[in-house]
Amino acid sequence: MKAVHAVLALPAALRNSAAAVLGIATVLAALGVDYALAQLAMIATFAIAGLGVVIIVGQAGQISLGQGALLALGAYVQALLVRHGVPALLALPLAVLAGMAGGWLASLPAQRLGGLYFAMSTLAFALIVEEVLVRWSTLTGGAAGLLVPPPSLFGWSVESAAAQAVFSLACLALAWLACHRLLDASLGRAWRAVREDEGAAAASAIDPLRAKRSAFLCGGALSGLAGALYAHWIGFLSPEQFGLLLSFELLMLAFIGGVRTLAGAWWGALVIVAIPQAIAVLRDLLPAAVAHTAGLEAMLFGVVLVAMILLRPQGLCGPSPGR
């Protein structure tokens, strides 16, 4: 009883961090350290991809239904280069460039289309990319897939879960810093102006087309980076990993976390990676007939998405509408 009173008497900040430490300790104990670290690497990777969605959708206000294809470009460029003996650190910028090139391509229809029609064109872009990856099997291995070796940095192979987590967190930190600076710069203001009102933005000497294109270039670069990391951590690529489902999963991620803030990408990634883990835990509690099917995961994803959009459309860490 005394201990409870002592905890309640602590200042709020201390209490929160104590709770966080306790939470992390529970997760580590439940999952095992290596497993938790591998999941952390995945969270950081998804968060980088989420930053791309935050910039394109949350900041510039464009609907992109083709993020998965941008990730695919980064992932395949990285995998193919590393397989041909290019050092991972040298391949990484090229994968980012591939993502950027994809973003540029996807943004081209913006010259003629706006709003929903432009969104449809990103969907068509993504479906065409996926089909090309399947069919160009001499390069990509087609539907059979492609094995990806772990990256090596200056002769040190990033194979252990801890190294993966550190490497992805470092990439996330760099990407985060870059995004943070961009959002405060004139480019970020241009994005938000275009999001609020294209006509007004154009009247204030902001070229909406340039703003959209730069948003897709940045979003593409982030997706390329995320794709390259994803390729290494999963170790195996096949086109169907990058289908429409991934594009929507990334949109979901951003909307769950809060699509207008950079922090949203992190929290969204946490939820997206945690849901399958929650299912794994729940599976032990449910009757065997229901528990052994893959449907539960899709259902829970759907329920979380619908509930978020209905109950908290600004996302987990977005500002309340009253403010």
Partner 1 sequence: MLSFVQVLTSGIAIGCVYGLVALSFVLIYKATAAVSFMQGEVLMVGGFTVLALNVGLGLPLLPAILCGVVLVATLGAGLERSVLRRALGQPHLTAVLLTFGLGLIMRGAVTTVPAASHGMHRLALPFGDEPLRLGALAIAPQHLLVIVATVAVAGALSLFFRHTRAGLALRACSENPQGAALVGIPVAAMHTLAWGLGAALAAIAGVLLAPITFVHLGMGLIALKAFPAAVLGGMTSLPGALLAGIFIGVAEALAGLLLPEGGKDVVPYALLMAALLLFPGGLGTALRQLRR
Look-up: residue for tokens 């995961």? 297
Q: Is 300 in the site for partner 1 (CB under 8 A)?
A: yes
Q: Is 275 in the site for partner 1 (CB under 8 A)?
A: no
Stretch that binds partner 1, among 31-39, 121-129, 224-232, 315-323 (CB under 8 A): 121-129
Stretch that binds partner 1, among 152-160, 172-180, 183-191, 301-309 (CB under 8 A): 301-309
- Inter-residue contact 91 to 77 (CB < 8 Å): yes
Site pattern 233..262 for partner 1 (x: CB under 8 A): -----------x---x--xx--x-------
Q: Is 298 in the site for partner 1 (CB under 8 A)?
A: yes
The 10 Å Cβ neighbour count of residue 247 is: 25
* Among positions 36, 97, 123, 182, the unique one binding partner 1 when judged by CB under 8 A: 123
**Closer to partner 1 by Cβ: residue 30 or 298:** 298
CA nearest neighbour of 93 among 221, 234, 179, 237: 221
Residue partners of 72: CB distance under 8 A and separation at least 6: 129, 130, 133, 227, 239, 241, 242
Stretch that binds partner 1, among 168-176, 208-216, 230-238, 307-315 (CB under 8 A): 307-315
Give how many residues touch partner 1 by CB under 8 A. Answer: 45
Q: What are the distances in angstroms from CA 110 to CA 94, 101, 115, 133, 213? A: 25, 15, 9, 24, 8
CA nearest neighbour of 270 among 45, 6, 22, 82: 45
Which residue type is seen at 165?
A
* SS3 letters across 198-260: HHHHHHCCCCHHHHHHHHHHHHHHHHHHHHHHHHHHHCEECHHHHCHHHHHHHHHHHHHHCCC
**Closer to partner 1 by Cβ: residue 21 or 124:** 124
Site pattern 24..63 for partner 1 (x: CB under 8 A): ---------------------------------x-----x
Query: Is residue 88 within a helix (H) or strand (E), and if so which, with residue range?
Result: helix 88-107
Q: Is 280 in the site for partner 1 (CB under 8 A)?
A: no
Region 126-145 residues binding partner 1, contact defined as CB under 8 A: 127-128, 131-132, 134-135
Q: Is 104 in the site for partner 1 (CB under 8 A)?
A: no
Burial of 21 (0-12, 13-18, 19+ CB in 10 A): exposed
Interface residues with partner 1 (CB under 8 A) are 57, 63, 65, 109, 112-113, 115-117, 119-121, 123-125, 127-128, 131-132, 134-135, 244, 248, 251-252, 255, 289-290, 293-306, 309-310, 313
